[in-house]
Amino acid sequence: MKRRTLDIAFAVGGIVFSVLLLVVGLILTNQKNFATDYVAKSLDEQGIVFKPVDKLATEADFQAALLKSFGSQDKVDAFIKERGLTSEANSKCLNQYAGKAMLTGKQAECYAQDFIRLHAAESSIVTGTGLKLADGTPVDGVSYTYSTISGPITAAKAAVKAATDAGKPQADIDALQKTADTLQSLRVDTLLRADTLRGLLLTTYGFSVFGERAGQAAFVCYAAAIVLFVLSIFGLIHAFASKKADEVILVAEHHEPVKA
* 114-173 residue pLDDT tens: 999 999 999 999 999 999 998 899 999 899 999 999 999 999 999 999 999 999 999 999
Between 240 and 120, the higher pLDDT residue: 120
Among residues of the chain, what percentage have pLDDT more than 70? 90
Q: Look at residue 213 and tell me whether its pLDDT is greater than 90.
A: yes
| Of 101-105, 223-227, 238-242, the least confident | 238-242
pLDDT for 71 equals: 86
d(CA 204, CA 187) in angstroms, rounded, equals: 24
- Look up the pTM and report it: 0.80
d(CA 117, CA 40) in angstroms, rounded, equals: 22
Map out the domains of the chain as residue ranges: 3-56+91-241
Confidence of residue 90 (pLDDT cuts 50, 70, 90): very high
Between 174 and 1, the higher pLDDT residue: 174
* 27-63 residue pLDDT tens: 999 999 999 999 999 999 989 999 999 999 999 999 9
Q: Look at residue 1 and tell me whether its pLDDT is greater than 60.
A: no
DSSP the chain: -BHHHHHHHHHHHHHHHHHHHHHHHHHHHHHHHHHHHHHHHHHHHHT-BPPPGGGSPPHHHHHHHHHHHHS-HHHHHHHHHHHT---TTT-HHHHHTTT-B--SHHHHHHIIIIIIHHHHHHHTEE-S---B-TTS-B-TTEE--TTTTHHHHHHHHHHHHHHHHTT--HHHHHHHHHHHHHHHHIIIIIIIHHHHHHHHHHHHHHHHHHHHHHHHHHHHHHHHHHHHHHHHHHHHHHHHH-TTTT-B-------PPPP-
Identify which of 1-5, 69-73, 104-108, 243-247 has the greatest average pLDDT. 104-108
Q: Look at residue 254 and tell me whether its pLDDT is greater than 60.
A: no
Q: Look at residue 248 and tell me whether its pLDDT is greater than 70.
A: no
Span 86-105, average pLDDT: 95
pLDDT for 217 equals: 96
Q: Look at residue 241 and tell me whether its pLDDT is greater than 80.
A: no
